[in-house]
Amino acid sequence: MNAQNLDNKPVVKRESKNKIRVEFDRTPLKDRLKAKFLSTFFLKNIVLWIFRLVLMVGISYVVLNPFLTKIAASFMAPEDFVDATVRLIPKHFSLDIYKAIISELGYFTAFKNTFLLSFITALLQTFVCCLIGYGFAKFKFRGRNLLFGLVVLTMIVPHPTIQNAMYNSFFEFDILGIVKFLKGGGIELFGYNLKELIPALENINVLPDQIRFGEYLDGAVTRYSVDMMITQNGIDVTNTFIPFIVLSLGALAFKNGLYIFLLRQFFRGVPDELEESAYMDGSGVFKTFFRIILPLSIPMMITVFLFAFCWQWTDGFYINLFYNQVKTNTVFLSWEFIDIPSSLNITYAGTQLYNTAIRNTCGLLIVLPLVILYSFGQRFLVQGIEQSGLAN
């Protein structure tokens, strides 16, 4: 085709200052269409295109279908659940389920608390994992590989395995026996208590027996307050945010090993020259990190933040573990939140289905904020992971 055209020299038809109009003999339209649409190349492509589209739409349907059925069921009135003709589109449209959940289960209080908890922990985890990931990526120190092995270990050991120990350690929270010392328990060294040498240690009692937690940190956001008991064994910090914050600070919370891994890979991809030039200009290691590296890694940090936030939001395990006293209250959007509001507790032929629909609606309301957040943040997901240069 092209060869033909090259033989016939193009004719310049009109020439102005800015435009040139060239005309040359073209192959007839019929031939051109034939060449384009009847080639094996085109046919192969169109078959592939259709195949791909069908597959994509099919799998999207598999992903979205549970949500669609749940959304459809959430707008149904009780009558629709016994009506065999109703499948996806409700006959009697009603918002009763939503109204009941929002007013009777205290959706907004639970929302506020969950948001606060998820936001604080996600922020802390992102920051701490950034620090750790950068440390692993850019500095060669002795024991680095061993330490990274330990990070992987924290990821591998399933938290249900250590849940009893975890609960106990926060039920009697005491680091290095500091609380014990301040409560007059003396200092334990190799199974020997210094208290017997220095009896004066026993008179130390600077901590109160009880702290009303609600008044200090939690009062503004929750409807209850918790007394933290302080004994010689430690402080009872369960039913507060403290276990979550402590775990986040130590990068020990849910899937933090993955975040460290991702961030390490990302920082490895950042060219060393960048830091070297900063060091040349007299910037210290930390200043370089905060002023140069962190601003660079915002997409990656958003990715990690999104993971941390969403996984904390949908978590039921830790909430159940650490908030054991407030089961009756609807404090968080978690397991306990999934309940049947009393005004909807009716008994009829479709009770089973109706209750399932109510529980599903609770679930929908729980993930709704995440869907909104995700729709804004999803472009960072691929971008962030792309930048991490995981393939190198």
Sites for other proteins among residues 276-305 (CB under 8 A): 279-280, 282, 285-286, 289
Within residues 81-120, the interface with other proteins by CB under 8 A covers 81-82, 84, 86-88
Within residues 36-65, the interface with other proteins by CB under 8 A covers 49, 52-53, 55-56, 59-60, 62-65
Query: Rounded to whole angstroms, how far apart are CA atoms 74 and 96?
Result: 9
Q: Which of 29, 38, 146, 156 contacts other proteins by CB under 8 A?
A: 156
Which residue shows structure tokens 């301040």?
Answer: 182
Q: Which of 94, 109, 154, 329 contacts other proteins by CB under 8 A?
A: 154
Q: Which helix (H) or strand (E) covers residue 228, if one does?
A: strand 227-231
Query: Rounded to whole angstroms, how far apart are CA atoms 96 and 76?
Result: 9
Within residues 248-267, the interface with other proteins by CB under 8 A covers 249-252, 258, 260
Beta carbon nearer to other proteins, 175 or 220: 175
Within residues 200-229, the interface with other proteins by CB under 8 A covers none
Query: Rounded to whole angstroms, how far apart are CA atoms 37 and 46?
Result: 10
Within residues 313-342, the interface with other proteins by CB under 8 A covers 314-317, 333-335, 338
Please state, in angstroms and as integers, the Cα–Cα distance from residue 131 to each residue in 12, 28, 151, 292, 302, following that order.
65, 66, 14, 13, 15
Q: Count of residues for the chain? A: 392
Please state, in angstroms and as integers, the Cα–Cα distance from residue 243 to each residue in 224, 258, 381, following that order.
18, 20, 28
Per-position DSSP letters for 92-112, written without gaps between them: SB--HHHHHHHHHTTHHHHHH
Beta carbon nearer to other proteins, 66 or 219: 66
Query: Rounded to whole angstroms, how far apart are CA atoms 58 and 50?
Result: 12
Beta carbon nearer to other proteins, 27 or 98: 98
Burial class (CB in 10 A: 0-12, 13-18, 19+), 244: buried
Residue count, binding to other proteins (CB under 8 A)? 108
Q: Which of 40, 161, 342, 347 contacts other proteins by CB under 8 A?
A: 161
Q: How far is the CB of 363 from other proteins (least distance, A)?
A: 4
Q: Which of 107, 136, 259, 305 contacts other proteins by CB under 8 A?
A: 136
Binding status of residue 372 toward other proteins by CB under 8 A: no
Please state, in angstroms and as integers, the Cα–Cα distance from residue 337 to each residue in 38, 102, 324, following that order.
60, 11, 14
Instruction: List the beta bridge partners of residue 22.
Output: 12
Cβ–Cβ contacts within 10 Å for residue 16, how many? 7
Sole window of 17-25, 137-145, 182-190, 201-209 interacting with other proteins (rule: CB under 8 A) = 137-145
DSSP classification of residue 231: E
Q: Which helix (H) or strand (E) covers residue 74, if one does?
A: helix 40-74
Q: Which of 20, 38, 146, 176 contacts other proteins by CB under 8 A?
A: 176
Q: Which of 247, 263, 321, 331 contacts other proteins by CB under 8 A?
A: 247
Beta carbon nearer to other proteins, 214 or 241: 241
54 alpha carbon, distance to own chain's centre = 30
Sole window of 23-31, 182-190, 322-330, 360-368 interacting with other proteins (rule: CB under 8 A) = 360-368
Beta carbon nearer to other proteins, 34 or 87: 87
Sole window of 21-29, 102-110, 194-202, 368-376 interacting with other proteins (rule: CB under 8 A) = 368-376
Binding status of residue 186 toward other proteins by CB under 8 A: no
Q: How far is the CB of 10 from other proteins (least distance, A)?
A: 30
Query: Rounded to whole angstroms, how far apart are CA atoms 386 and 181?
Result: 50
